[in-house]
Structure 1
């Protein structure tokens, strides 16, 4: 059978130690060739030799470790996540209640009796019951994970936690049955507290993951649930090109005729059999009718009809594509001006949206692993604590013999147990998230949402930023960049009159380029009237009657075919095209009176942001599905030297991967569905908040609003937060290290051990937030958007 690849969505992962444990288990499994684990998206990609190991054995490895494999159906998977969340909440309530009771008993004992050791057997037994109930009730799953890890020789956080919990249990039993003055209650309390802390940390992680990415489901929701399947039809008005009629429309406003204009292609005129069916019931070869304003339900080929189609779902480009018979269309794109009859050419996994969904899932699983700083510390800390605890016990058994005393079993047990208790890395575990919370609050005050630890951890190492063009560097909507009035025209080349002519002709048009012309005229206070007659020539332009004159606005090639002499403006046309603009000519009674250069305007802070990148030693790269000419013009204007144009969604991801293979750390900035696989593949994905939900859900950082400068703000905050993380880890490790060393003496009481843990956490808290509070920033973990509400580009691009 050869090498096979399986991808699983895994439940139960809570930290990077979980990912490392899964990787180690698979790498020690005979027949497994490679494994990639994505903690952020709880996904595991396993490559294995099917002749040596079965799929069942591959799955059992995950289950044996204590993790669950979620249903591949995305709706059922979401239900399973909700069930896991409910289980986590139930465990936390049980363990938290036990901790509150134990804390109350300890406080009463110390305050009322003034002693650290209990003199009440009843209190000892109650605390023992709570310890056993917590460890083997809500904490049982931790023991199962620890056992399976130990069985495979893997030392992880579950093993260390259980070592501490059982040490507390053992210490309590020693107090009950061996040493009369042993702190029984406190040792039992340790078992309760550290088990509860672990359940709390996992529940918090589960909340974050459950609320996180629904990107793939949202992506597939773009496709309509049903479609109009045409099984037989007669020649009808809907089979005519969409612009053959309606030459006498009138209206009282610039949009008055838009509804009438759409009626020119009635899809039901003479159809003999049209049925609405679920999209999933369609097969290759079926034909579907798509009306203006509707999403195209399938990948297919136009059989008849002409229209403009917003394909930003695939290309990210704001200017729609003209479609006519034999042209391909993409499921999920939006039909705009005419009615199309589309023959289905792809289904299932071959369909575009399903391919993008697969690209996102695979990119998540294959995303380069990031070794967290805390993990590098804990990788050595865990075995070191276990070894030191063992050596401490042995030392107090053997060392007294050197000075002629008896082995000190009591002191050795106290030392070993205290080492395990103090060795549980509470502050170490909090060091990273507290620094990230601080950085997240600071970012939120600047309108930036930091969604993952990678956004902080990798920021200092980023050396390339790949930027999408449309909606990222540019505004993301067509606009008139330049209007050229030509001498010799009927109106004498006056720009305002040329614009009035063009706006009147476009007043009834549904095309986004017409919107751009009208908005340009409105911004300049140009007065224009509705046309007496109007005809939309799909894919070419418009023909209208304005003040009794015949007016054409459209492509130079179409105007030339209509007998208009455009040779005198050839140089101007080429100049505008070199700037990457779409050129429309304006004629009146056969004379070319002007040219309109329409493009996607560049954001005001784009050039400044690019300069900030280069000043920081970061190489900016522009990547786009647009043509090379337009891309080069935009890149030159903002100061980007490296440009990749005509790039498809899967190719964007491949380009990111090539940069990573070359040893670079890459951030990707985008806003469209076509950017989602690349955003997921990049070391840090940055989405423009005014973009699509799919891009936002695939990213590690979201810039609220559309300000591009937030990219470098996020980089600076991430770098600072990583530095703060290192400081926190140093402080936490110092407390744990000193505490473990002191515990080896056998003189550290469990109460003082817990006090030391409180102090270590307090030190980490102070380092994380003191400076922020003193500076008056406050501790904000919510969102404060400076640049307006979060928007979404959607619909048909209008």
Structure 2
């Protein structure tokens, strides 16, 4: 009945093991994009070093054709708004945690973060100050380069979900430590973390490093939950005691997770834990009452104070009370109001 009540509220709990572990969670790790943020980033600023904004955007969007990454969608949407014709791309390559590259109009185009620039020995020092100013406003900075060097930078913002702060606050009321990990620059992660109110926010974290953070917390004695929605989150979801996937996420994330939130509402994370705790509270109550019935009833029956019929009726009442108490879980609902 606990899992049924949770399911009616948009929380799918795969198995009893996930339900049991969820009530012991004392540390929750959020991925940033699509979990605490809306997952709908938009281009908010551009600055070119060579050529024009239109030329830079054409190259950047052309390389991103066919990509499902949220940042790619932001670039493609901006190019569509400006009615920019995209050109074919070849030799596409992805660099995990850094960016991508491809050949457009006969020249290689790089799109990514400063780690990718360092890998290709490109010096961004002349524009770092502008980039840091954008990052301090929670904008992800995308560097664009070609064979001749840096072309420019693009600022992309993904706003915090309206429910994110309330979601984090509800976890703190449950005495749960909250963390946020992101592949974004540290300044971006810190600003989003500040807005959401998490205890710890870390940027520049690669997918495999997220799993390491989970293991590190586990080694410190924490029972860890990981919330994510992308392929990159799958290793951390698998490493956590309880993996929680957003319903809008990838199939890989949902297959790996023990709990799936059918609505993209981070407040359901706290609700899932509350449902688990309510279920195990009922289990303890039922065990207590069953013990009392037997501890009192068996000696009375053995001493002859209860007739066989009365003893049988008492045992039946014991079962009825346990079932009735369990059915009260059907009335469980999340405490927050759905927006």
Same fold (TM over 0.5): yes
Please say which structure displays the higher CA radius of gyration.
1
Q: Residues 480 and 596 of structure 1 are in contact (CA less than 8 Å); yes or no, is this contact kept in structure 2?
A: no
Measure how far apart 1:710 and its partner are: 0.7
Q: For each residue in 1:88-109, what CA deviation from the matched residue of structure 2 results, as whole angstroms up to 9, or x when unmatched?
A: xxxxxxxxxxxxxxxxxxxxxx
Structure 1 residues 407-426: aligned runs within 5 Å: none
Measure how far apart 1:653 and its partner are: 4.2
Query: Match for residue 216 of structure 2?
Result: 655
Matched position secondary structure for 1:707: coil
Cα 1:640–1:481, aligned 2, differ >3 Å: closer, same or farther?
farther
Q: Distance in 2 between matches of 1:681 and 1:507?
A: 35
Cα 1:747–1:555, aligned 2, differ >3 Å: closer, same or farther?
closer
Structure 2 unaligned spans of 5+: 93-99, 118-123
1:530 and 2:89 matched: no
Q: Residues 666 and 682 of structure 1 are in contact (CA less than 8 Å); yes or no, is this contact kept in structure 2?
A: yes
Q: Residues 234 and 252 of structure 2 are in contact (CA less than 8 Å); yes or no, is this contact kept in structure 1?
A: yes
Query: Match for residue 279 of structure 2?
Result: 721
1:733 maps to which of 267, 291, 299: 291
Aligned-pair Cα RMSD in Å: 4.6
1:484 maps to which of 42, 46, 71: 46
Query: Match for residue 463 of structure 1?
Result: 26
Query: Match for residue 669 of structure 1?
Result: 227
Q: Distance in 2 between matches of 1:767 and 1:683?
A: 29
Matched position secondary structure for 1:621: strand
Cα 1:736–1:521, aligned 2, differ >3 Å: closer, same or farther?
farther
Q: Distance in 2 between matches of 1:556 and 1:445?
A: 42
Query: Match for residue 96 of structure 2?
Result: none
Cα 1:737–1:635, aligned 2, differ >3 Å: closer, same or farther?
same
Query: Match for residue 583 of structure 1?
Result: 142
Matched position secondary structure for 1:581: strand
Structure 1 residues 125-524: aligned runs within 5 Å: 437=1, 439-453=2-16, 457=20, 461-474=24-37, 479-484=41-46, 498=53, 504-505=58-59, 508-511=62-65, 512=67, 514-522=72-80
Q: Distance in 2 between matches of 1:506 and 1:770?
A: 56
Q: Distance in 2 between matches of 1:680 and 1:472?
A: 17
Q: Distance in 2 between matches of 1:682 and 1:568?
A: 41
Q: Residues 580 and 630 of structure 1 are in contact (CA less than 8 Å); yes or no, is this contact kept in structure 2?
A: yes
Q: Residues 577 and 583 of structure 1 are in contact (CA less than 8 Å); yes or no, is this contact kept in structure 2?
A: no
Measure how far apart 1:711 and its partner are: 0.5
Query: Match for residue 142 of structure 1?
Result: none
Q: Residues 12 and 262 of structure 2 are in contact (CA less than 8 Å); yes or no, is this contact kept in structure 1?
A: yes
Q: Residues 61 and 75 of structure 2 are in contact (CA less than 8 Å); yes or no, is this contact kept in structure 1?
A: no
2:303 maps to which of 740, 745, 748: 745
Cα 1:737–1:470, aligned 2, differ >3 Å: closer, same or farther?
same
Structure 1 unaligned spans of 5+: 1-436, 492-497, 546-551, 560-565, 778-785, 788-798
Task: Say which is worse superposed, 717-726 or 467-476, in terms of deviation.
Answer: 467-476
Cα 1:625–1:743, aligned 2, differ >3 Å: closer, same or farther?
farther
2:178 maps to which of 620, 623, 627: 620
Q: Distance in 2 between matches of 1:585 and 1:528?
A: 20
Matched position secondary structure for 1:690: coil
Structure 1 residues 72-151: aligned runs within 5 Å: none
Cα 1:505–1:580, aligned 2, differ >3 Å: closer, same or farther?
closer
Q: Distance in 1 between matches of 2:243 and 2:279?
A: 18
Cα 1:444–1:572, aligned 2, differ >3 Å: closer, same or farther?
same
Measure how far apart 1:472 and its partner are: 3.3
Q: Distance in 2 between matches of 1:665 and 1:455?
A: 12
Cα 1:678–1:528, aligned 2, differ >3 Å: closer, same or farther?
closer
Report the TM-score when normalising by structure 2: 0.68
Q: Distance in 2 between matches of 1:553 and 1:510?
A: 11
Measure how far apart 1:445 and its partner are: 2.0
Q: Residues 669 and 688 of structure 1 are in contact (CA less than 8 Å); yes or no, is this contact kept in structure 2?
A: yes
Cα 1:619–1:758, aligned 2, differ >3 Å: closer, same or farther?
same
Q: Distance in 2 between matches of 1:712 and 1:733?
A: 32
Measure how far apart 1:582 and its partner are: 3.5
1:572 maps to which of 120, 130, 143: 130
Report the TM-score when normalising by structure 1: 0.33
Matched position secondary structure for 1:648: helix
Structure 1 residues 658-697: aligned runs within 5 Å: 658-660=219-221, 664-672=222-230, 675=233, 678-679=236-237, 682-697=240-255
